[in-house]
Structure 1
Amino acid sequence: MSIAENISKFNQETAPFNAQLIAVSKTKPNPDLLQAYEAGQRDLGENKVQELTQKYEDLPKDIRWHMIGHLQRNKVKYIAPFVHLIHAVDSKRLLAEIDKQGKKNERVINCLLQVYIAKEESKFGLDEDELNELLNSAELKAMENIKIIGLMGMATNTENLEVIRNEFKYLKDLFEQIKQEYQSDKVEMKELSMGMTGDYQIALEEGSTMIRVGSAIFGSRNYH
């Protein structure tokens, strides 16, 4: 199937769940991204800052760019002028840097807090205690140029669908709990970014509002 057909298929699958497709375009060449764009896809996800900024320069300006990968503090300044949503905020220090760069660019930057839900050492994210500590912190109250609009998580890379479902369930419960306890001008729980090519169906069933799909749209990844 073509990129346009793949996007159409995923939009049909996400519609009943009122969820949004983030087409993960990392490592893909601009002509592929333009095919997605011409099919009506405006939300694209990248995981490398250098590639993201280059594509932002080269491609239509109404694309909403999602930073979905691990973000280093010293790279925030490059994407702060334009990024639509940062999915993987995994520390208070990173959030503080995003706030600082948001201020320099006179904009409020939307963020998701990444929660560690997987049984794997290689994944990043906050645990439940760190999450609560951040949400209760005086530093967060002082930040004026960020807004936390939800949570993001990556499930364990396993064939065991029950493990994946339980991890997504846990994240959804946490999302609902924070929604009850922490709503403020800085925290508005709207988005739950979970589910990728291999597990998006389970994620949708468990309440995801954003799925991050790459290879099932653009074909297998080009590593570089």
Structure 2
Amino acid sequence: MAKRSPLAEKLDEVKDRIARACEKRKRDPAEVTLVAVTKTAAPEQIREILSLGIADLGESRVQQLTQRAGQLNEFVARRQIHGDAGTMPDKIRWHMIGHLQRNKVKSLLPFVHLIHSIDSLRLAEELDAQADKAGRKIPILLQVNGSEEPQKHGVAIGAAVHLAEQIDSMPGLQLTGLMTMAAHETDPVKIRQAFSRTREVFEELKWNKIGGASLRHISMGMSDDFEVAIEEGATMVRIGSTLFGGGVQDHEGLEEA
């Protein structure tokens, strides 16, 4: 039997941890999408994670996402043409998980599958306008400040439903859920509170029929807290350093343009 690579073993371990967290809440692990955050990953690691069947990749900077998307989309297409794609996905789903500036929206649109970080009306309006020009309806998540830290991006918990209603009326955007980040600390109570608050907002949106049938995702949880996030209802977890190493927590870079 061939020896498994360190990355393959780490991926198996993360999947096992996801499954155990789901089991605690009697959830199906298939409900949780693993987004591999490639910020600290070397190109060969990204190619390997694709060969291991992971289709969802996350980047926190527009320039890095567009560069990598161009290279790796071509890599996947080439492997398929040559008939050696194996368990590689047919198509990479690129997730923009970092803070997004309005002047970067246009360059991002051709590559992105889902934007996790819409946190203001002005940004949503710019994205809606660019989506209209591109003839697309862009799936987005509303980023809420679940930890209520003043330095964090994200709409305040109390303002989230109103902003979600405004976004839901924009023809170029498809509101598919919420994203949040817990406080970067060791207090498990505060971490869980950030996630439970976000889930409560999600349930309020559902109650008010905002987003309709498309509202189904809560993106929360990173390398150091994803199990708690899953227990609190996460349907997407964003994991980088646990998979790829590099000594950089997934929190870092998420606040950058």
TM-score, normalization by structure 2: 0.80
The alpha carbon displacement at 1:122 in A equals 2.5
Moved more, 145-154 or 103-112: 103-112
In the other structure, the counterpart of 2:8 is 4
Q: Distance in 2 between matches of 1:195 and 1:135?
A: 21
Say whether 1:203 aligns with 2:229.
Answer: yes
Higher share of residues assigned strand: 1
The alpha carbon displacement at 1:184 in A equals 4.5
Moved more, 83-92 or 165-174: 165-174
Q: Distance in 2 between matches of 1:36 and 1:194?
A: 21
In the other structure, the counterpart of 1:57 is 70
Gaps of 5+ in 1: none
> What is the letter of the counterpart of residue 228 of structure 2?
I
Say whether 1:39 aligns with 2:43.
Answer: no
In the other structure, the counterpart of 2:138 is 109
Cα pair 1:81 1:102 within 8 Å, conserved: no
**SS in structure 1 of the partner of residue 190 of structure 2:** helix
Cα pair 2:168 2:210 within 8 Å, conserved: no
Query: Could you report, residue by residue, the CA deviation over 1:47-105 in whole angstroms, capped at 9, with x for unpaired residues?
Result: 01001000011003611000000000000111111201000100011111111121222
Query: Could you report, residue by residue, the CA deviation over 1:13-40 in whole angstroms, capped at 9, with x for unpaired residues?
Result: 3344421100000142321110110111
The alpha carbon displacement at 1:3 in A equals 1.6
Aligned 1:119-134 pairs, distance under 5 A: 119-134=148-163
Query: Could you report, residue by residue, the CA deviation over 1:102-156 in whole angstroms, capped at 9, with x for unpaired residues?
Result: 122221110000001124332100013322222333x752x21110100000011
Say whether 1:152 aligns with 2:179.
Answer: yes
**SS in structure 1 of the partner of residue 49 of structure 2:** helix
Q: Distance in 2 between matches of 1:8 and 1:100?
A: 41
**In 2 relative to 1, CA 184–120 (structure 1 residues): closer, same or farther, beyond 3 Å?**
closer
In the other structure, the counterpart of 1:23 is 36
Aligned 1:63-212 pairs, distance under 5 A: 63-137=92-166, 140-141=168-169, 143-184=170-211, 188-212=214-238
The alpha carbon displacement at 1:8 in A equals 2.4
Cα pair 2:192 2:232 within 8 Å, conserved: yes
Cα pair 1:6 1:217 within 8 Å, conserved: yes
TM-score, normalization by structure 1: 0.91
Q: Distance in 2 between matches of 1:184 and 1:168?
A: 20
Q: Distance in 1 between matches of 2:68 and 2:247?
A: 17
Moved more, 50-59 or 163-172: 163-172
Of the two, which has the highest radius of gyration? 2
Cα pair 2:38 2:58 within 8 Å, conserved: yes
**SS in structure 1 of the partner of residue 215 of structure 2:** strand
Gaps of 5+ in 2: 23-28, 75-90
Q: Distance in 2 between matches of 1:184 and 1:214?
A: 29
Q: Distance in 2 between matches of 1:35 and 1:136?
A: 40
Moved more, 115-124 or 30-39: 115-124
Q: Distance in 2 between matches of 1:216 and 1:148?
A: 29
Cα pair 1:14 1:20 within 8 Å, conserved: no
**SS in structure 2 of the partner of residue 195 of structure 1:** coil
User: Over the residues paired in the alignment, what is the CA RMSD in angstroms?
Assistant: 2.0
Cα pair 1:10 1:21 within 8 Å, conserved: no
